[in-house]
Amino acid sequence: MKTILLIENNAEMLENLTEYLEMEGFKTLVTDNGKRGLELAGEYLPDLIICDVLMPEMNGYEVLRFLLKSAKTSEIPFIFSTSVSEKNNRTKALKLGADDYIIKPFELETLLNMVKTCIKTGSKRCACTK
């Protein structure tokens, strides 16, 4: 069973994603905090991380930077999930090292296709929707 780490500060979104991905056969680790997400990533080495960009304390960009600095976590596929739809933000995220970027609101099936592709191909850094 593949494990996905969800880092999302919107409780309703986190609950919906968790329920959906578990129904699709994935194990999920969840947190609403970037710092805790880093701890979980290092401890459990998930098969994929889906992370919100805009969060208090530590935003998604900071989370990704820390993950990429560690040999232990640098190869974990990483998808940003965000309500920020500016093209330059997506470009920034991909240049920083994210494998993909999905804009909220999104269809769960679209995310599921990204998840399956990223887990199957690994990090890039995977070519999920490029």
- Domains identified in the chain and CATH numbers: 3-121 (3.40.50.2300)
Q: For 107-129, how does the pLDDT look when each residue is reduced to its tens digit (9 = 90+)?
A: 999 999 999 999 988 876 444 44
pLDDT at position 23 is 98
The enclosing H or E element of 5 equals strand 3-7
Report pTM: 0.92
pLDDT at position 129 is 41
Tokens of 14: 């986190």
Q: For 35-46, how does the pLDDT look when each residue is reduced to its tens digit (9 = 90+)?
A: 999 999 999 999
The distance between the two most distant Cα atoms of the chain, rounded to a whole number of Å, is 35
Q: For 37-95, how does the pLDDT look when each residue is reduced to its tens digit (9 = 90+)?
A: 999 999 999 999 999 998 878 999 999 999 999 999 999 999 999 887 766 788 888 89
What would the DSSP string read from start to end of 12-62?
Answer: HHHHHHHHHHHHTT-EEEEES-HHHHHHHHHHH--SEEEEESS-SSS-HHH
Q: How far apart are CA 103 and CA 114, in angstroms?
A: 12
